[in-house]
């Protein structure tokens, strides 16, 4: 079978660090073009205009959109018009309302739309979901704190409307929580900290619950230096389950059950090839819905300016 020929749109840090090696490491994929206003990749045809790329490289089968979220809907719609599959880096869009037309267009075009949540492909997530499936959960605690200057150097778009601020990493935690818990959760209370000079939050304290009242508490912060914190703890009748290192390390009652490797993006592209083989889509809006609810229900607090 011929490989799926992919165009990568948006050549920033995440594309270079994760998407390019994941595509290169999959036998069923081939990177044939890139599109970016400011960057390119050696040895790959590069374009500054998306429409020009689609016209000049008609053999493209799929586009992987790694642009800021506000640009993705227009590119995705154009890709479907051209008969391409579409992969959306997280978060899949700047708003929830942008996604419904994409789902409809993918169905009409008989093409795949894959809204990726890379943290769900961490090695510990599936066994954690299986362990919790028959558990009586008592409480869930999320501690997700990192250094924005390290992970997003010079990326001012994350501080603008649609950039999500601290929810850019925080949504990764929510994508895991919504994947491993047996019941949906909803927001009950939130506190969002906005720097005086920024339009998106730098920290958030959130309280959720499921329909049975199980509490889920989440603390997000983008100001943490030194060791980074990507931890989820679930206390249940079966014991205490902990996912650390973004979901790669799974412990139960302090004992290591699984210590995985960084295979999130290879997992994304492996799943995409399965979807594209039968023109199926995978669009789960639960993590983005919780973030939208945080902006709706959360109390806004102004904190010191951040540069």
3 state SS for 221-282:
ECECCCCCEEEEEEEECCEEEEEEHHHCEEEECCEEEEECCCCHHHHHHHHHHHHHHCCCCE
Catalytic residue of the set 84, 90, 105, 145:
90
Task: Tell me, yes or no, if 90 is annotated catalytic.
Answer: yes
CA of residue 205 relative to chain centroid, distance: 20
What is d(CA 297, CA 279) in angstroms, rounded to the nearest whole number? 37
Q: Do 155 and 222 contact (CB within 8 A), yes or no?
A: no
Query: Exposure of 30 by Cβ count < 10 A (0-12 exposed, 13-18 middle, 19+ buried)?
Result: middle
Nearest partner of 292 among 114, 88, 91, 119, judged by Cα: 91
Phi, psi of 287, rounded to the nearest 5 degrees: -60, -45
Q: Do 31 and 40 contact (CB within 8 A), yes or no?
A: no
Catalytic residues: 90
């Amino acid at each position: 079978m011929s490989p799926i020929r992919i165009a990568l749109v948006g050549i920033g840090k995440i594309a270079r660090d994760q998407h390019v090696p994941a595509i290169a490491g999959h036998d069923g994929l081939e990177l044939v073009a890139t599109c970016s206003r400011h960057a390119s990749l050696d040895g790959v045809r590069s374009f500054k205009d998306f429409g020009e790329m689609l016209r000049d490289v008609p053999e493209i089968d799929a586009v992987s959109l790694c642009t800021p979220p506000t640009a993705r809907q227009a590119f995705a719609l154009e890709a479907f018009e051209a008969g391409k599959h579409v992969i959306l880096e997280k978060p899949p869009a700047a708003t929830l309302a942008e996604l419904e037309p994409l789902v409809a267009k993918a169905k009409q075009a008989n093409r795949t739309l894959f809204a990726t949540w890379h943290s769900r492909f961490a090695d510990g997530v599936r066994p954690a979901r299986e362990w919790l499936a028959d558990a009586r959960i008592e409480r869930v605690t999320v501690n997700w704190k990192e250094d924005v200057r390290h992970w997003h150097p010079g990326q001012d778009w994350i501080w603008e409307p649609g950039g999500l601020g601290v929810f850019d990493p925080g949504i990764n935690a929510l994508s895991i929580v919504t994947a491993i818990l047996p019941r949906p959760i909803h927001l009950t209370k939130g506190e969002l900290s906005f720097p005086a000079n920024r339009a998106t939050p730098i920290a958030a304290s959130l309280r959720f619950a499921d329909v049975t009242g199980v509490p889920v508490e989440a603390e997000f912060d983008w100001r943490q230096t030194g060791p980074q914190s990507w931890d989820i703890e679930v206390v249940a009748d079966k014991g205490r389950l902990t996912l650390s290192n973004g979901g790669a390390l799974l412990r139960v009652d302090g004992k290591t059950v699984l210590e995985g490797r960084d295979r999130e993006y290879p997992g994304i592209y492996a799943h995409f090839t399965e979807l594209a083989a039968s023109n199926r889509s995978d669009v789960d809006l639960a993590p983005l819905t919780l973030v939208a609810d945080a902006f709706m229900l959360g109390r806004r607090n102004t904190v010191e300016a951040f540069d």
